[in-house]
Amino acid sequence: MVDGNRPRRVVVLAGDGIGPEVCAEALRVLEAAVAHERAALELTHALIGGAAIDATGGPLPDATRDACRSADAVLLGAVGGPRWDTLPPELRPEKGLLGLRKTLGVYANLRPVRARAALLDASPLRREIVEGTDLVVVRELLSDVYFGTPRGRSGDRAYNTMEYTVPEVRRVATVAFNIARARRRHVTSVDKANVLEVSRLWREVVTEVGKAYPDVALDHQYVDSLAMDLVRKPTSFDVVLAPNLFGDILSDEAAVLAGSIGLLPSASLGEGPGLYEPIHGSAPDIAGRGIANPLGTIASVAEMLRHSLGLPAAADRVDRAVDRVLDEGARTPDLGGSLSTSDMGSRVLDALAHAAR
């Protein structure tokens, strides 16, 4: 976390598909928010994903890795697209993102999901179900079947390894309990402990960590049952603590509660620089048309201001500006409206300027 008044160093990895479009709007907002605090910003752009493959032959060039390591925070748009889908696994755009997460050591991925009053009818779920939803998925990001070895193929067989170590579970569980303390003091830990050994370890360690937090209620729930409750009674959740793969799936499911996946930010935190990205993908079907919703990336900038740049007041201002434009009815096509990506960015900038007066 930056303290004092030295320039905030942010690396921007716009990536593929709608990544560059949504990042452009988020950067306008970041610049305005930082300037309002009379702080300085040093922005560097670097390549990742398919864009990096096209330019350098690999999805995570050394120059990108080095720039990100020495930054205060990294903003990422999205990676991937059909053009690169046929590449061998080690060369795919997604590998760039996974490698970056590993490089930065960002083991805790925070995905807050809130059903805003103005958007209750944007969700395919009934208003009375989503109303009041305010939860955060804390997803473990550096282990599980995503990174486990061995993995590969032999003959007609393909395999990945689902694995967790005690320290890996302990550190992410600690983050979840600390977050719960600042919220409604309730952690629901996700596993499949009726079947998987890895889940039995997960459950043991989470229970152990929870003993240091007697003021926080802890439940364990199987992932299949939780997937159902997430759309049946979402208001019963506060902090959902999940291993990497289950967290990936559940956070997309939770996005329907907010009204559009285009709204949701994420913060990935470890010991070093934080990584901030919208939870949506590169949306190749709408890329280049200027209709993507930039609010998930703009909200990610708010998380960055809060967790990595030491500017919590600026973070709150950005969040309020997003609330305000939605309250006023600003809508991109994913929310049933017709605003362009840059119109939506301008609306948020106007709301920020308005709040500053």
**Active site positions, annotated:** 146, 192, 224, 248, 252
Closest CB to ligand IPM among residues 106, 201: 106
Q: What is the dihedral of CA 85, 89, 90, 94, to 10 degrees?
A: 50
The beta strand positions in the chain, using DSSP E, are 8-15, 41-45, 73-78, 108-114, 134-140, 152-154, 157-159, 186-191, 217-222, 239-242, 267-269, 274-276
Instruction: Tell me the three state secondary structure of residue 123.
Output: coil
The footprint of ligand IPM (CB under 6 A) covers: 80, 94, 97-98, 248, 279
- Report the DSSP beta bridge partners of residue 111: 137
The minimum distance between CB 69 and Mg ion, in angstroms, equals 24
Distance CA 31, CA 305 (A): 11
The minimum distance between CB 71 and ligand IPM, in angstroms, equals 19
The answer for residues whose C-beta is within 8 angstroms of residue 66's C-beta and 6 or more apart is none
The residue with its CB nearest to ligand IPM is: 94
The minimum distance between CB 139 and ligand IPM, in angstroms, equals 8
Q: Which amino acid is at 15?
A: G
Closest CB to ligand IPM among residues 300, 314: 300
Q: Per the structure block, which two tokens stand in for 46? A: 């670097």
Distance CA 218, CA 220 (A): 7
The total of other beta-carbon atoms located within 10 Å of residue 259's CB is 25
The minimum distance between CB 301 and Mg ion, in angstroms, equals 20
The minimum distance between CB 249 and Mg ion, in angstroms, equals 8
The minimum distance between CB 274 and ligand IPM, in angstroms, equals 15
Q: Per-residue x/- mask for Mg ion, residues 107 to 136, rule CB under 5 A?
A: ------------------------------
The total of other beta-carbon atoms located within 10 Å of residue 128's CB is 8
The answer for residues whose C-beta is within 8 angstroms of residue 49's C-beta and 6 or more apart is 13, 15, 16, 19, 59, 78, 79, 80, 84, 93, 94, 96, 97, 282
Closest CB to ligand IPM among residues 28, 139: 139
Closest CB to ligand IPM among residues 13, 339: 13
The interface partner of residue 94, options being ligand IPM, Mg ion, none and the CB cut-off 5 to 8 Å by kind, is ligand IPM
The interface partner of residue 334, options being ligand IPM, Mg ion, none and the CB cut-off 5 to 8 Å by kind, is none
Instruction: Tell me the three state secondary structure of residue 157.
Output: strand
Closest CB to ligand IPM among residues 248, 334: 248
The minimum distance between CB 248 and ligand IPM, in angstroms, equals 5
Q: Which of 25, 144, 248, 319 binds Mg ion (CB under 5 A)?
A: 248
**Long-range contacts of 217-222, Cβ-Cβ distance < 8 Å, separation of 24 or more:** 217/185, 217/186, 217/187, 218/187, 218/188, 218/189, 219/186, 219/187, 219/188, 219/189, 220/188, 220/189, 220/191, 220/193, 221/188, 221/189, 221/190, 221/191, 222/190, 222/191, 222/192, 222/193, 222/194
Closest CB to Mg ion among residues 67, 292: 292
The interface partner of residue 97, options being Mg ion, ligand IPM, none and the CB cut-off 5 to 8 Å by kind, is ligand IPM
Please choose, from the candidates 218, 216, 215, 183, the residue with its C-alpha nearest in 3D space to the C-alpha of residue 204.
Answer: 218
Closest CB to ligand IPM among residues 247, 345: 247
The interface partner of residue 265, options being ligand IPM, Mg ion, none and the CB cut-off 5 to 8 Å by kind, is none
- Which residues of the chain form contacts with Mg ion (CB under 5 A)? 248
